[in-house]
A and B are shown apart, each in its own frame.
Chain A
Amino acid sequence: MQNNLFQDQKFRGILYQTLVVGFFALGLYFVINTTAYNLEKRNIATGFGFLNNPAGFDISFSPFLDFKSTDTHLKVYFVGVLNTLLVSFCGCIAATILGFIVGIIRLSSNWLLSRIAYIYVEFTRNTPLLLQIILWYAILIQLPRIKQAPQIWETFYISNRGLFGPKPIFLDGSNIVILSLVLSFIISFFIARWAKKRQDTTGQQFPTFTTNLSIIVFFPFVVFFIMGSPITLQYPVLKGFNFKGGAVIRPEFIAMFLALSIYTAAFISETVRSGILSVTKGQREASGALGLKKNWIMRLIIIPQALRVIVPPLTSQYLNLTKNSSLGIAVGYADLVHGFGGISLNQTGQAIECMAITMATYLLISLTISFFMNIYNKSIQFKEK
């Protein structure tokens, strides 16, 4: 009975899908159209021309770019992106390390340790991140005032305006020292590769770690003295209202960093735990029977197999952390949402443009993280030989 077109499954499928896409496009068109119409009617200017206008306000937290109030909104955007990337990057690394440690501790046979890890995970996982950020900031703000800042060796100072320490100053010839450091890393890499290959073929072991560590430490040191110490330290000095010179880590950054990494580490630790538990008991017993040391079993047998389970959810934790960094607004951390999506938006009134750019940026960052994590994930999958 093919005479009725609607009884043709293929035709019906195409029809329904066309209708859905059509309705979606119509809805999108309607939304964009009404927005444009309303903006027009309210005399709200649109367009991206404002990006080249001077911002008119100052951003103090800009470790990578020098920002003045005469700079443009476009520069506000770049400062915000860099600050977002900074806290996300530091947060992801710290969360991963802490998460792995806690995840392994939770499986420890030591009752007290595993209980402490359990309490930590349940406490941080089940309270809102925003509150944790504000809590950390509230604690940091109670540190000593700048005039009473306690010092360590007249080099480090702790105050509620941040942690102050020495800043390296690079003089002429410092390029060569840095080059030597990079070079020693490259040499170490090749030594490690050579050592692994030799062990694979002959079974002979090589003290890779100690050799490489001494290369990385001693080689640049020798170059440093040959070049006549071209890198000096600038110490912070209390002058007037604030410390002058030196380097500083602001409490806003510390609060964000601590809250983001501790919060996310709780989730990562659960991922790590489930990954380790997914490796069958037989693997552990078999490697024990072969006489492998306990930490070798973990490092060589369990973790490589667990990683296949750990990495996909780990990727989404990285994405979460990056997106959660937008909560920096709560403590005045000058990230993308606070600076560009907040102050610029408000000073120019270009809400839709600013939000669109900000969202597109987060999308780009997230997709980039996913891209690299997917490559990594492929590299650790079972390779059937």
Chain B
Amino acid sequence: MKKLLSIFAVLAFAFSANAGTLDDVKNRGFLKCGVTTGLIGFAAPDDAGNWAGFDVDVCRAVAAAIFGDSSKVEFTTTTGKSRFPTLASGEIDMLARNTTWTLSRDVNLGFEFVGVNYYDGQGFMIPSALGVDDATGLDGATVCIQTGTTTELNLADFFRANGIGYEALPIETNDEARENLFAGRCDVYTTDASGLSATRAQADDPDKWVVLPNIISKEPLGPLVRHGDHQWGDVVRWSLNTMIIAEELGVSSSNVDDSKGSNIPEVLRLLGVEGGYGEMLELSNDFAYNIIKQVGNYSESFDRNIGPDTPLGIGRNLNALWTDGGILYAPPFR
């Protein structure tokens, strides 16, 4: 039904004037951001119904950059299947939904990935009682798999490459996968390792579940926009980069006000004290200040939502800054 709606929406889109997305968002007064249907740590509503999470913070950063107010976001939940039609039809302005950057999505589906906010890889989670310690020992297992994802394709490739069989149980959302896994309808759940950590954190007894060490794919997850509106792509890209650069420079939500008097030139450029970088993006010059003040830098968002002190307990690993042994790297703010 959603697909069908989206097709109609694509049609309907033709009738509306095709102005720049940034102007549309500014005129509308809030940002429309697509997120998951609920993945603890990445995007899930809290007890008060406010969306929170690592992906949600990217949406909030963009809202802070445009409006100076990180709360001006309307969240739309999307499944693995509905996310692309929803974005393509213009129902949302951007998608921040642990989506893997691939060639076909970038080129054939007509989207533009603006960067990577989480370097992930596909893993397997099983009950520890099964006593399997390597994914190649999963011959004949029933595997829960979210349909319409890259993980679905990687799964088929992995088992084919290793010459072992499996039975796929196709499901739509992370919640369904959790129910089926916990009920024993499937032996294994496979998705991005971050998603597995989130699922494990929701188990009654997390110790009864193990995430196998096998990582069978590269899954660079990042926000994306529709292809062709480069100005809008730039805004989202530099909102994300700002969070990474702020961590590099040691600017956080707690010291951002003091940092305005810093003697490091790049900090002054970042916070809009010097130069007109915000205007180049058709934003206010203090857009980066607003992001850092209201959302925080990359490490603040990471630690708050998915870091070692949260139920997910994910380490920085690949997602550490390039200066700390990871591969997180943003182009210079200049």
Q: Is B318 an interface residue (CB 8 A)?
A: no
Question: A345 to B156, Cβ gap below 8 A?
Answer: no
| Interchain CB contact (< 8 A) of B7 among A58, A244, A351 | A351
| Interchain CB contact (< 8 A) of B185 among A160, A241, A329 | A160
Q: How far is the CA of A347 from the CA of B130 in the complex (A)?
A: 32
Q: How far is the CA of A66 from the CA of B72 in the complex (A)?
A: 51
Q: Is A201 an interface residue (CB 8 A)?
A: no
Within 8 A of A (CB), among B160-193: 160, 166-172, 176, 179-180, 183-185, 187
Q: Is B260 an interface residue (CB 8 A)?
A: no
Question: B81 to A342, Cβ gap below 8 A?
Answer: yes
Question: A347 to B148, Cβ gap below 8 A?
Answer: yes
Q: Is B108 an interface residue (CB 8 A)?
A: yes
Q: How far is the CA of A251 from the CA of B169 in the complex (A)?
A: 11
| Interchain CB contact (< 8 A) of A45 among B108, B152, B185 | B108
Question: B7 to A355, Cβ gap below 8 A?
Answer: yes
Q: How far is the CA of A67 from the CA of B133 in the complex (A)?
A: 29
Nearest A-chain residue to B160, judged by Cβ = A69
Q: Is A110 an interface residue (CB 8 A)?
A: no
Nearest B-chain residue to A356, judged by Cβ = B7
Which residues of chain A come closer than 8 Å to B88, judged between CB atoms? 42, 44
Q: Is B153 an interface residue (CB 8 A)?
A: yes
Nearest A-chain residue to B144, judged by Cβ = A332
- Minimum CB–CB distance from A49 to chain B (whole Å) comes to 12
Question: A145 to B11, Cβ gap below 8 A?
Answer: no
Q: How far is the CA of A45 from the CA of B11 in the complex (A)?
A: 16
- Minimum CB–CB distance from A324 to chain B (whole Å) comes to 14
Q: Is A15 an interface residue (CB 8 A)?
A: no
Nearest B-chain residue to A242, judged by Cβ = B140
Within 8 A of A (CB), among B90-120: 104, 107-110
- Minimum CB–CB distance from B204 to chain A (whole Å) comes to 16
Q: Is A385 an interface residue (CB 8 A)?
A: no
Which residues of chain A come closer than 8 Å to B184, judged between CB atoms? 145-146, 160
Which of A31-39, A272-280, A296-304 is near enough to bind chain B? A31-39
Question: B7 to A160, Cβ gap below 8 A?
Answer: no
Q: Is A239 an interface residue (CB 8 A)?
A: yes
| Interchain CB contact (< 8 A) of B170 among A69, A141, A343, A347 | A343
Q: Is A93 an interface residue (CB 8 A)?
A: no
Which residues of chain A come closer than 8 Å to B109, judged between CB atoms? 44, 349
Contact with B along A331-344 (1 / 0, CB 8 A): 01010001001110
Q: How far is the CA of A246 from the CA of B15 in the complex (A)?
A: 57
Within 8 A of A (CB), among B1-45: 3-4, 6-7, 10-11, 13-15
Nearest A-chain residue to B183, judged by Cβ = A141
- Minimum CB–CB distance from B320 to chain A (whole Å) comes to 33
Q: A34-B14, A141-B179, A146-B184 are in contact. Are A59 and B168 (CB under 8 A)?
A: yes
Question: A56 to B147, Cβ gap below 8 A?
Answer: no
Question: A57 to B156, Cβ gap below 8 A?
Answer: yes
Q: Is A346 an interface residue (CB 8 A)?
A: yes
Q: Is A10 an interface residue (CB 8 A)?
A: no
Question: A241 to B187, Cβ gap below 8 A?
Answer: yes
Q: How far is the CA of A342 from the CA of B6 in the complex (A)?
A: 14
Question: B168 to A58, Cβ gap below 8 A?
Answer: yes
- Minimum CB–CB distance from A225 to chain B (whole Å) comes to 36
Q: A34-B14, A43-B107 are in contact. Are A334 and B170 (CB under 8 A)?
A: yes
| Interchain CB contact (< 8 A) of B147 among A34, A37, A346 | A346
What are 22 A-B residue pairs whose CB atoms fall within 8 Å in the complex?
A35-B10, A41-B228, A42-B88, A42-B226, A43-B108, A43-B228, A45-B108, A56-B156, A142-B183, A145-B184, A146-B184, A241-B139, A241-B140, A332-B169, A332-B171, A332-B176, A343-B148, A343-B170, A349-B84, A349-B109, A351-B6, A351-B85
